[in-house]
């Protein structure tokens, strides 16, 4: 556990909770049970099973040495699902979508307070730019993109 800063550990916990709370993550909250989940050959095809519940437990029990180990497990959840489930299945697509979400969340894991603040400011700056690019029409108090505004003649 010595490889984590407080900020880094808090961020990892927050991301894990965010993923656990995501509406699409239901199938990834507990370990795959080959019999109950209709995947009898799962353990033959997947050498290192991983799920979000196990990751949360490992974080709570200080089982990770650093954020890189945690990130490896997070990514393993999605790669296992994409490896086991054929491309055209719902679980494969859901795993792809959650993997994309993780790519954004894990682009930079803050280790210090200034890094965390910089990340938050960057996110707010992006939101502000998006908001300002959606100039409100003169006749409306509701900000809208000009192409969506009602034309008053």
Decide if 92 contacts 86 (C-beta within 8 A): yes
**Cα(45)–Cα(35) distance, integer angstroms:** 15
pTM: 0.78
Decide if 52 contacts 99 (C-beta within 8 A): no
**Cα(31)–Cα(34) distance, integer angstroms:** 9
pLDDT at 131: 77
Q: How far is CA 139 from CA 37, 124, 129, 130, 133, in A?
A: 56, 27, 22, 21, 17
CATH architecture, domain defined by 6-111: Up-down Bundle (1.20)
Domain ranges in the chain?
A: 6-111, 114-153
pLDDT at 151: 64
Q: Note the pLDDT tens digit of each residue in 34-59.
A: 999 999 999 999 999 999 999 999 99
Segments in the chain below pLDDT 70: 1-2, 135-153
């Amino acid at each position: 556990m010595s490889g984590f800063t407080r900020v880094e550990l808090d961020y990892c916990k927050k991301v894990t909770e965010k993923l656990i709370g995501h509406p699409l993550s239901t199938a990834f909250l507990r370990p795959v049970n080959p019999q109950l989940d209709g995947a009898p050959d799962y353990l033959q095809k997947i050498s290192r099973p991983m799920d979000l519940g196990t990751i949360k437990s490992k974080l709570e029990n200080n089982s990770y040495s650093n954020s890189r180990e945690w990130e490896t497990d997070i990514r393993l959840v999605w790669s296992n699902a994409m490896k086991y489930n054929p491309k055209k299945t719902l679980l494969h697509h859901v795993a792809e979508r959650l993997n994309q979400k993780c790519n954004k969340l894990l682009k930079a894991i803050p280790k210090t307070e200034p890094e965390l603040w910089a990340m938050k400011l960057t996110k707010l700056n992006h939101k502000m730019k998006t908001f300002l690019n959606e100039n409100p029409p003169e006749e409306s108090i509701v900000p809208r993109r000009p192409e969506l505004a009602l034309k008053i003649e």
